[in-house]
């Protein structure tokens, strides 16, 4: 079959997932959307680590404060930072709830913030001001393009949660004795993730302790409206 031999209806059906049009094309689309391969899910633990980090940090931190790593990837070689994030995740996994305990130990102590599946709402109260960020279920194309961009540039002036500050103080104390050991300490893996890499932790903490909540402003980055440069095609 040739490309001319299927019409818009057939094309729409293909796009909707129904077999239609030239068989070879249908097979190609089937292959393109085949079930996940394990290699494609290699980042699962890293993603879960990020999820836990956000969830288990203070609720205010969870909802308000961006993970700095994701705001400034260019400050640090990407692959390295990703590896570190993965490493941080592995460490966090080793430490299990320890990571939470660390945060809780530095901040006003409280129960471990591990939510039962049905237990809801702890952090939704701290939903950031950009609640319209995500597209609604009805598509909302007009919102869609800028939804995720809003959180990126949303709250540059949020205060830094006290637990990060305290953790940074602890880190600096430890780093003064033995920096590599401090960086390797799973207790500080959260800082590695937040800072965007081990090499960034020191400057990150200096900035945090100095009271500047964001070591690097990301306002100037093109993240917010990148689509204009591409959609013209």
Partner 1 sequence: MDVRERRDKGSAAERRPPPVRQRRDPDVGHYAPPNSGTMPDPGIDREDLGEIVRRAQAGDEEAFRVVYRAVQPGLLRYLRVLVGDDAEDVASEAWGQIARDLQSFSGDGNGFRGWAATIGRHRALDHVRWLRRRPVAAAGIDSLADEPGPDDTERLALDGVSTDRAIALIATLPPDQAEAVLLRVVVGLDAETAAGVLGKRAGAVRTAAHRGLRRLAELLDHADPQQRGFNA
Q: Identify the DSSP state of 145.
A: T
- Residue whose CB is less far from partner 1, 157 or 231: 231
- Draw the binding track, 173-202, toward partner 1 (x: CB under 8 A; -: no contact): ------------------------------
User: Virtual CA dihedral for 105, 183, 56, 130, nearest 10 degrees?
Assistant: 120
Contact segment (CB under 8 A) with partner 1 among 160-168, 169-177, 197-205, 215-223 equals 215-223
- Residue whose CB is less far from partner 1, 113 or 175: 113
Query: Does residue number 207 form part of the binding site for partner 1 (CB under 8 A)?
Result: no
Q: Are 189 and 167 a contacting pair, CB within 8 Å?
A: no
CA separation, residue 70 to residues 67, 157, 178, 184 (Å): 6, 17, 27, 21
Task: Please report how close the Cβ of residue 179 comes to partner 1 at its closest, in angstroms.
Answer: 25
- Residue whose CB is less far from partner 1, 93 or 209: 93
Instruction: Spell 26-57 as b/e; 16+ CB within 10 A means b.
Output: beebeeeeeeeeeeeeeeeebeebbebbbbbb
Contact segment (CB under 8 A) with partner 1 among 26-34, 96-104, 172-180, 203-211 equals 26-34
Task: Please report how close the Cβ of residue 124 comes to partner 1 at its closest, in angstroms.
Answer: 6
- Residue whose CB is less far from partner 1, 104 or 182: 104
Task: Please report how close the Cβ of residue 60 comes to partner 1 at its closest, in angstroms.
Answer: 12
Site for partner 1 in 35-94 (CB under 8 A): 35-44, 46-48, 50-55, 62-63, 66-67, 69-70, 73, 78-79, 82, 85-86
Q: 144 Cβ partners below 8 Å, 6+ apart? A: 135
- Residue whose CB is less far from partner 1, 172 or 199: 199
Site for partner 1 in 114-153 (CB under 8 A): 114-124, 126-128, 130-131, 133-145, 147-149, 151-152
Q: How many CB atoms lie within 10 A of CB 81?
A: 24
Q: How many CB atoms lie within 10 A of CB 87?
A: 18
Q: Are 222 and 131 a contacting pair, CB within 8 Å?
A: no
């Amino acid at each position: 079959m040739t490309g001319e031999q299927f019409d818009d209806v057939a094309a729409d059906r293909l796009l909707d997932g129904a077999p239609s049009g030239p068989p070879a094309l249908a097979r190609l689309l089937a292959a393109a959307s085949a079930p996940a391969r394990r290699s494609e899910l290699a980042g699962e633990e890293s993603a879960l680590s990020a999820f836990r980090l956000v969830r288990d940090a203070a609720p205010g931190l969870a909802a308000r404060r961006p993970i700095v790593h994701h705001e400034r990837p260019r400050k640090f070689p990407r692959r390295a930072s990703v590896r570190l994030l993965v490493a941080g995740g592995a460490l966090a996994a080793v430490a299990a709830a320890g990571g939470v305990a660390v945060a809780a130990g530095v901040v006003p102590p409280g129960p471990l913030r591990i939510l039962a599946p049905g237990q809801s709402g702890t952090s939704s109260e701290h939903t950031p001001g950009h609640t319209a960020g995500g597209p609604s279920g009805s598509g909302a194309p007009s919102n869609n393009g800028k939804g995720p961009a809003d959180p990126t540039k949303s709250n540059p002036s949020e205060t830094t949660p006290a637990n990060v500050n305290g953790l940074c103080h602890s880190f600096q104390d430890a780093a003064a004795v033995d920096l590599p050991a401090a960086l390797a300490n799973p207790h500080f893996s959260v800082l590695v993730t937040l800072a965007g890499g081990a090499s960034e932790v020191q400057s990150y903490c200096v900035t945090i302790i100095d009271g500047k909540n964001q070591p690097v402003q990301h306002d100037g980055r093109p993240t917010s409206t990148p689509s204009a440069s591409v959609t013209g095609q």
